[in-house]
Amino acid sequence: MKKIVVLISGSGSNLEAIIESCTAKKINGKVIHVISNNPDAFGLIRASKFNIASKVIDHKKFSSRIDFENSLEEFLDTLSPDLIVLAGFMRILGTKITSKFSNKMINLHPSLLPVYPGLHTHEKVLENKDTRHGISIHYVSSELDAGPLIAQGFIDISKDETLEDIIKRIHKIEHLLLPEVINEICNENIYLDNNEVKYRNINLHNQKIIKRSYEI
C-alpha cells in the first residue's frame, strides 16, 4: 500500500474524494498526511474528520519562496511519501523541489492543458464560448501547469450554462478521474521515465494520454 501526501490550499473536496476512495479500497494507497499553505483551508477540517494528520506551512510566514519550499521539502522528506498529490494547491513550486520529487508529484488542473494554464479557467471557457471543457492531471514541473500530461477528462458545454453549472460539473469529473489515476500510479501502471509518462495495462485507445469523456 502506497503512502500518499496531499497538498491543499482551500476547500479540499478532492482531498475528501481521495480519502474516501482509499477507504473504499478503490486506491491501493493511504493518505498519511495533509499539508496546507493556508491555515484557514477547509480541507484541514476534512482531514481532521477522517483522523488524518495535517500540517500548515504558511507561505506568508517566510521571507522568500525558496525558504517556504525548503521547509516544505524538509517536511516531505520526513514523511517519505510514495506519491504527492497537489489538489487545489495554489502555489507555484520552483525547480529544486519539483526536480527532487518529479517522479512522484502530480497536479490536478481545471482545464484541458495546454489551454488555460493558471487561474480563472472556467471564466475563460465562458468568455471564449468554448464548447468543451475539462480537467488535466499531470506530473509537476517548475513551469506553471506544464509538466508531462497523464490524463484528461472532458465535458461538452452548452451555451446556456452558468459559471456555477460548469464548476459543479467539473468537480464531479475531478472526483472520478483523480482517484482513478492515483490508483493506477499506486499500482505502478503509470510512471514517469526520462520525463515521459509510461503506461502499463491501460488501454489508451491510440492516445498518448488517458482521455475520458463524461456525460455529467
- Model confidence pLDDT, tens digit, residues 75-101: 999 999 999 999 999 999 999 999 999
Domain that holds residue 131: 2-213
Q: Which of 66, 75, 87, 67 is nearest to 11 (CA)?
A: 87
Q: What is the count of structural domains for the chain?
A: 1
- Residues catalogued as catalytic: 109
For the record, the C-alpha cell of 93 comes out as 513550486
Sequence letter at residue 150? I
CA end-to-end span of the chain: 31
Q: What is the pLDDT of residues 161-188, one digit of tens each?
A: 999 999 999 999 999 999 999 999 999 9
CA 215, distance to chain mean position in Å, is 22
Query: What CATH number should be reported for the domain holding residue 107?
Result: 3.40.50.170
Residue 91: per-residue pLDDT: 96
> Cβ neighbours of residue 58 under 8 Å, at least 6 residues apart?
37, 38, 39
Q: What pTM did the predictor assign?
A: 0.97
Residue 208: per-residue pLDDT: 87
Helices (H), 57-162: 65-79, 95-100, 121-127
Residue with grid cell 477547509, as numbered in its chain? 42
